[in-house]
Amino acid sequence: MTTLQRRTGIALWRQVADQIRQSVLSGMTANERLPAEAELANRFGVNRHTVRAAIAALEKEGTLRAEQGRGTFLNDRRRLQYPIGPRTRFSSGLKDQSQTRTGKLLSSRTIPAPPRVAEALELPKTAEVVELSTVSAADGDPISAATSWFDASRFAAIAEHYAETGSITASLARLGVDDYTRQTTAIEARHASSEDLDLLGLSPGAIVLLTRSVDVDSAGQPIQYGESRFAADRIELLIDNRAPAA
Amino acid sequence: MTTLQRRTGIALWRQVADQIRQSVLSGMTANERLPAEAELANRFGVNRHTVRAAIAALEKEGTLRAEQGRGTFLNDRRRLQYPIGPRTRFSSGLKDQSQTRTGKLLSSRTIPAPPRVAEALELPKTAEVVELSTVSAADGDPISAATSWFDASRFAAIAEHYAETGSITASLARLGVDDYTRQTTAIEARHASSEDLDLLGLSPGAIVLLTRSVDVDSAGQPIQYGESRFAADRIELLIDNRAPAA
DNA sequence: GGCTATTTGTCCGTATGTATT
DNA sequence: CAATACATACGGACAAATAGC
């Protein structure tokens, strides 16, 4: 099966932690007991201390809890599903899966459009854009860090609106965009940058899902280009074609 | 700007390698020269030996090449775009971006349906399914490793057809499925297992995009449940809502 | 209450890998 | 290349808590 590897720059206990998250916990329900440390050590072919180090890491991140004499148990921590489709909206998509959602504005500035941004927004190369850096959280846990760009000539005031509402949809509505749809979403995966580690509260080596998206208004004009980083261990992206645009 | 962290189970040289991939190379064009070792060591706050270890790793995985006396240079490595939508098909999606595409059958077997498979295919818990393990490559580079499940009572012979055609679409056509559409696609990201490292020719620590998908026939009946792993450094997933179902 | 089996928690020592000087 | 300090991994032994009898 899946043998662990040495000398890769990734400690064994961390590989074991990842394995436990994936193969051991995948079929388990909340508050279920894990196999004993000794059995896990045997299964992965490592020392019990190495399994203990892995469990300690998973305990620290909130996935497990160990109780002396009783065993180690799986905490209730679902991966949120973030839907992607023509009607993709951050706020509403997660609403029914979490209690509270917050969107915080980190910074904003008006700059000449970077080439890829100008292309996505169908603006001339000399155009100016508003750049928004935001972090979104659900139930207090940071979910995504995003950078968004808007045509400065049309949406100069969007930063102020976002700071008040914490929502792109609401901010756009205030600026006369009643409705918009997702045109394209490109998805990549990579190791988190040190900035993302900070923003999303991840440990080094963690993975982020990176989406690059273009939203268009009802006239088909691109209004937003965004690059979002999602904590891959807390979220999955879901494309559901059963629910077409309303 | 976060400094690198210790005691996280990820060796410093690997963190530096990830950083170089992310922040240093992101703004660079192909065949551009990297900053000198000493400068990188200074920038990341680590010793030169550590930077050298990181560069050696990146060289081994093919993203950099070091030339004696000249410096270290960024190799040209584009990501293929893999479209996802109602009409998602592996073969045709990549056709215009690569010269040759091959689908190889690794193994097949008929087994009782695992719970998540039975649920996805809307089969009774006692049903049997055909499990196909396949690897797909474009221009000789492995792109994805997939495991697919089909209702054994309806598609018992699919393994033989796939072995001949190297295509799921063609195999289904032979079994009377003229048309099918993608119902759902869930996307996660994780570190590659050692099995995937083998199949996809990756180096340890590499990332895979994992998709779980359900395809349905024209009557809306689920016919295929699949889990695919894509090499995240060679591919990105693209959801394009501009081209609706034909 | 005691006894025992099971499981997690802590301590020792030792060897190897990692990172710096 | 060498010397040093720290992190990782292993092996064993025993303590502490829990559950069942």
- The whole-angstrom distance between A87's CA and the closest CA on chain B is 10
Q: Give the ranges where B24-151 is alpha helix by DSSP (H).
A: 25-26, 37-44, 48-60, 90-95, 115-121
Residue of B nearest to A196 (CA): B2
pLDDT tens digits, A151-168: 999 999 999 999 999 999
Distances from the Cα of A187 to the Cαs of A102, A153, A228, B14, in angstroms?
Answer: 23, 29, 10, 24
B119 contact partners, CB below 8 Å, separation of at least 6: none
Q: Which residues contact A141 (CB under 8 A, 6 or more apart)?
A: A201, A234
- Test B191 with A18 for CB contact under 8 angstroms: yes
pTM of the model: 0.78
| Distance CA B132 to C1' D7 in A | 42
Across the interface, whether the CB atoms of B11 and A11 are under 8 A apart is answered yes
A166-205 pLDDT tens trace:
999 999 999 999 999 999 999 999 878 778 888 998 876 6
* Cβ–Cβ below 8 Å for B19 and A194: yes
Tokens standing for residue B111: 């087994």
Residue A243: is its pLDDT beyond 60?
Answer: no
- Confidence bin at B96 (pLDDT 50/70/90): low
Closest nucleotide (C1' vs CA) to A65 is C8
Looking at residue B206, its pLDDT comes to 78
Reported confidence tier of residue A246, pLDDT bands at 50, 70, 90: very low
If contacts are CB pairs under 8 Å, which of residues 189-228 in chain A contact chain B? 189-191, 193-195, 197-198, 203-205, 207-209
What per-residue confidence (pLDDT) applies to B158?
A: 97
A178 touches strand C (CB under 7 A): no
A180 touches strand D (CB under 7 A): no
Which superfamily does B80-239 belong to? Chorismate lyase-like (3.40.1410.10)
Residues near A132 by beta carbon (within 8 Å), at least 6 away in sequence? A105, A107, A108, A146, A147, A148, A149, A150, A158, A159, A162
The yes-or-no verdict on residue A96 having pLDDT over 70 is no
Q: Do A205 and B57 touch (CB under 8 A)?
A: no
- The predicted pLDDT at position B97 comes to 74
Of all residues in chain B, the one with the smallest CA distance to A9 is B11
Percent of chain A with pLDDT over 70: 92
Does the pLDDT value for residue B91 go beyond 70?
Answer: no
Q: B12-74 adopts what CATH topology?
A: Arc Repressor Mutant, subunit A (1.10.10)
Q: B185 touching A, CB under 8 A?
A: yes
Structure tokens at A76: 């209730």
- Check CB contact of A45 with chain B, cutoff 8 Å: no
- The nearest alpha carbon in chain A to B194 belongs to A2
Q: What is the pLDDT of residues A133-149, one digit of tens each?
A: 999 998 888 999 999 99
Map out the domains of chain B as residue ranges. 12-74, 80-239
Residues 15-54 of B with CB under 7 A from strand C: 45-50, 53
| pLDDT at residue B204 greater than cutoff 80 | no
User: Chain A, 64-93: which CBs lie within 7 Å of strand D?
Assistant: 67-70
Cα B138 → chain centroid: 12
Distance, Å, A59 CA → D17 C1': 19
Q: What is the pLDDT of residues A224-234, one digit of tens each?
A: 999 999 998 88
Confidence class for position A244, pLDDT limits 50, 70, 90: very low
Task: Give mean pLDDT, residues A45-52.
Answer: 97
